[in-house]
Every structure is written in C-alpha cells, then in structure tokens.
Amino acid sequence: MFHRFQIGAMNAMIVSDGPLTLPRPARIFTGPDETAIDAALRPAARAADKVRVEQNCLLLDTGGKRALFDNGMGTSRLFGPDSGQLPASLVEAGIDPASITALVLTHAHSDHCWGTMRDDGVPNFPNATIYMAQAELAFWESAPPGERRERSLAGVRKHLLPLRDRIRLLRDGEEFLPGVQSWLTPGHTPGHMAYLFDGGWCLTGDVAFHDPLSYVFPEAESAFDGDPVEGIATRKRVLARLADEKLAIVGYHNPWPGLGRVERAGSVFRFVAGSA
Ligand SMILES: [Zn+2]
C-alpha cells in the first residue's frame, strides 16, 4: 500500500509495513481510568479491547537522494500477522530498494528498524547510509541486558551493528539531507529523533503513537516509553510546537496514511487527519 504526496517541493510517498496489534489501552496507558479511555475512543470508533496502529514509512526524494524513514518489523510477527508488508508496498509503488540511498531512523525499536536486514544477514537496502541519533546508538551499545530490553538489544545486534560502518550519527538540529533537519525528542527512547522538513512538516516517530489517546491524554504514562516521565514532557513540548506552528505531520502509527495536523483542544490536543 502506498500514497504519494508532496512535502514542500519534494516528492514524497508513504509506504506501508502494515498494522500492528498491541495490548488493550489500559495496559499501555497509566493515568486515565478505563471509563475515560473508552469515552475518548468512542468518537474515533476504535476498539477498546485492543490497539491497532499503522506503520507508515516515509519515502522522500531530496537533493538527488532517496530517503526511507523507518522500515517496519521485517519478518518478525511479534505484534501480529499483518506487519512485514514494506517490501510488497515498495514493489507496488515501483521503488527498487537499491535506489534508496538513505535509511533514516527515529529510534531502534523493533517496529522501526527490523526491516533493515534480511534473516540471512543481507541488507534489504544495499546502497543506503543509515542515519540515527548518536544518543540512540550509544544507549543500545552500552545498555545492560534487562528483561524489557532484551528483544530490542537482539534487534540492534542483528540489524544495526553489522552495518556500523555505514551508520552516520546525528546530533540535535542537524540538516543532514537537503531540507531535512533532526530534532532530538528523547523519552520514548534516549535518542528518539523527530525530523523537520522544509515546507512546514514534521515526522513525529513515536512521540505520540496512538490517535486519539496520546493526544487526548498527553500526560498519561506510556508503557512503551523507556522513560515515561521524560516521554510526557517531550510529548507535551512537541505537540504544543506542532499545534502552535501549524506544522503538517507524518505520523508513523497514525491512521493510514498518517498525514494530518495537531490542534489544541483546551489543555489537550487532537490529531486532525488530512493531507496539507
Ligand atoms: Zn513504534
């Protein structure tokens, strides 16, 4: 599945890796009670018993480079049977993986980078330089083993470390591709990056992964945030900027194809779907 659009003067496309199935919201979000969660989900006609979120990968042509932002679950079915569609989506869109010269990661969780490497250790994008935050790679390279981290660590060892010499580490606020700037947004992971694009766009990664709950309850702790307190502070800061500057957003887990805007609704926020 793919969707073409423009980011400023740049040709862009969302290519889907397919949806993930996650546990019920009350097991992910701490703060609002189940009644409040149900009430927030009702207008969006979302099931309260489980969470289904998209994986919208951005493909962007800029300055003679072709960049893919995040690359899905690969062959893993950790979050249900419907992921792993990125290769088929690229074929459908007529995109040769060898034409992708930049692989840009928001962070190193499974659903964002496990499409990097095939199971036989051959890179899926043989000509790509990998861009990610210095703080992100440093964290995973030095993270002590722990039950919650074990899967992510295994993924980093399989997908990123073998390509270590092709990783270009980013700091906050770097224009590393023409018209594309990094924005360090830690909390979900220590080196989580959002990306800002010329033309008033932002790719938000997992700062607010669930529509509507992450927007209606920005102060709810998320079980997926490595540092839930920092996650809340970053979410509020990012959502406020997106709303105040009226930036168009590419939301990785937002409803297909993940394009829209963020508006303030009193002290909270809402995601308004629709291409700019
Ligand atoms: Zn994610």
Give the pLDDT score at 50: 76
Give the pLDDT score at 105: 98
pLDDT string in tens for the chain (276-residue length): 999 999 999 999 999 999 999 988 888 999 999 899 988 988 777 766 778 899 999 999 999 999 999 999 999 999 999 999 999 999 999 999 999 999 999 999 999 999 999 999 999 999 999 999 999 999 999 988 777 789 999 999 999 999 999 999 999 999 999 999 999 999 999 999 999 999 999 999 999 999 999 999 999 999 999 999 999 999 999 999 999 999 999 999 999 999 999 999 888 999 999 975
* Interstrand relation of 56-62 and 180-184 (parallel, antiparallel or unpaired): unpaired
Ligand 1 geometric centre to CA of 205 (Å): 7
Spatial separation of the C-alpha atoms in residues 58 and 40, rounded to whole Å: 28
Give the pLDDT score at 48: 65
Ligand 1 geometric centre to CA of 210 (Å): 10
Residue 4 burial (10 A CB sphere; 0-12, 13-18, 19+): exposed
Ligand 1 geometric centre to CA of 65 (Å): 25
- CA end-to-end distance (rounded Å), the chain: 20
Contact 52, 25 (CB under 8 A): no
Q: Which residues contact 142 (CB under 8 A, 6 or more apart)?
A: none
Phi, then psi, of 172 in degrees rounded to 5: -65, 135
| Helix or strand holding residue 26 (H, E) | helix 25-28
Q: Where are the domains of the chain?
A: 2-273
* Interstrand relation of 10-16 and 221-222 (parallel, antiparallel or unpaired): unpaired
* Interstrand relation of 180-184 and 193-197 (parallel, antiparallel or unpaired): antiparallel
- Residue 143 has a CB neighbour count (10 Å cut-off) of 15
Here the tokens at position 35 are 């009644």
Ligand 1 geometric centre to CA of 21 (Å): 11
Neighbours of ion ligand 1 (CB under 5 A): 111, 206
Ligand 1 geometric centre to CA of 181 (Å): 20
Give the pLDDT score at 143: 84
Q: Which CATH number fits domain 2-273: 3.40.50.2300, 3.60.15.10, 3.40.50.300, 1.10.3720.10?
A: 3.60.15.10
Give the pLDDT score at 15: 98
3-state percent helix, strand, coil for the chain, nearest multiple of 5 = 25, 30, 45
Ligand 1 geometric centre to CA of 185 (Å): 14
Ligand 1 geometric centre to CA of 108 (Å): 9
